[in-house]
């Protein structure tokens, strides 16, 4: 019998080019890299302690996403990302998330909803104590629980693309969001508890659009 670890137990590390794209994307979306600013692959690669090749591949990914453009003989330049651009992305995300929330209403058991309530209580406690790393983790778990319950993996996959436009530390980055999110999440849970798909949809749509509005207001 082979001593190799079974493939299903291995955890694959993201490709270096993906890590590079994620790093620069975060800098752009959070405003640390401004429109018109040029990016040297070699300099950025040194910051991540990787070679210039995967960094350049990552920058090409961001070019395909519209976050960068290539200027002849000058290299990669940060493209404009307006407040309207950000709000548009979140509007699209809200439609997908709302549909998933509506579908989840008939699939989540009372035990599932109890677990969701516990996640939200822990999230609010973490926000009150300014433990934003934990808040981000729990927020991800909250949404993943609802999206997974909907039983629509393709819609969940489509949402992932829009998440690239939100800072990873969203709660720490956006003024007023911890308080707004607590109220928004409670409204979503109420719709799920009532088995009211349209109420859950509306609450989720409002929640995502509210996030986009607050993020856009900072640009």
Radius of gyration in angstroms for the set of CA atoms belonging to the chain, rounded to a whole number: 19
DSSP code at position 8: G
Higher pLDDT, 193 or 82: 193
CA 33, chain centre distance (Å): 19
CATH code, domain with 30: 1.10.10.10
Q: The domain containing residue 54 runs over which residues?
A: 14-78
Among the listed ranges 78-92, 135-149, 198-212, which one has the minimum average pLDDT value?
78-92
Question: Among 28, 53, 78, where does a domain finish?
Answer: 78
DSSP code at position 2: -
Q: Are residues 93 and 19 both part of a single domain?
A: no
Report the pLDDT averaged over residues 163-172: 68
Q: Are residues 115 and 33 both part of a single domain?
A: no
Q: Are residues 74 and 87 both part of a single domain?
A: no
Q: Are residues 100 and 198 both part of a single domain?
A: yes
Q: Are residues 66 and 46 both part of a single domain?
A: yes
Contact yes or no for 176/143 (Cβ under 8 A):
no
CATH code, domain with 98: 1.20.120.530
Q: Convert the pLDDT of each residue in 42-61 to its tens digit.
A: 999 999 999 999 999 999 99
Our count of domains for the chain comes to: 2
Going edge to edge, which strands form the sheet with 75-78? 38-39, 75-78, 68-71
Q: Convert the pLDDT of each residue in 105-137 to its tens digit.
A: 999 999 999 999 999 999 999 888 888 888 889
Q: Tell me which residue of 211, 88, 98, 92 sits closest to 152, measured CA to CA.
A: 98
Q: Are residues 55 and 142 both part of a single domain?
A: no
Among the listed ranges 56-65, 82-91, 149-158, 198-207, which one has the minimum average pLDDT value?
82-91
- Tell me if 7 is assigned to some domain: no
Q: Are residues 87 and 60 both part of a single domain?
A: no
């Amino acid at each position: 019998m082979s001593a190799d670890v079974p493939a299903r137990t291995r955890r694959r590390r993201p490709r270096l080019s993906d890590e590079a794209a994620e790093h620069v994307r975060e800098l752009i979306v959070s405003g640390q890299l401004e429109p018109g600013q040029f990016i040297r692959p070699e300099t950025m690669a040194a910051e991540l302690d990787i070679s210039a090749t995967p960094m350049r591949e990552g920058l090409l990914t961001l070019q395909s996403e519209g976050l960068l453009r290539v200027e002849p003989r000058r290299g990669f330049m940060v493209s404009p990302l307006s407040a309207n651009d950000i709000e548009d992305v979140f509007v699209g995300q809200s439609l997908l998330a709302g549909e998933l929330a509506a579908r989840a209403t008939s699939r989540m058991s009372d035990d599932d909803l109890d677990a969701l309530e516990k996640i939200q209580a822990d999230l609010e406690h973490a926000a009150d104590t300014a433990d934003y790393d934990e808040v981000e983790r729990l927020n991800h778990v909250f949404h993943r629980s609802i999206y997974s319950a909907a039983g629509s993996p393709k819609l969940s996959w489509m949402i992932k693309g829009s998440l690239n436009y939100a800072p990873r530390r969203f709660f720490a980055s956006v003024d007023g969001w911890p308080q707004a999110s607590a109220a928004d999440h409670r409204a979503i849970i109420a719709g799920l508890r009532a088995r009211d798909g349209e109420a859950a949809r509306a609450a989720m749509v409002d929640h995502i659009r509210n996030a986009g509005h607050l993020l856009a207001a900072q640009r």
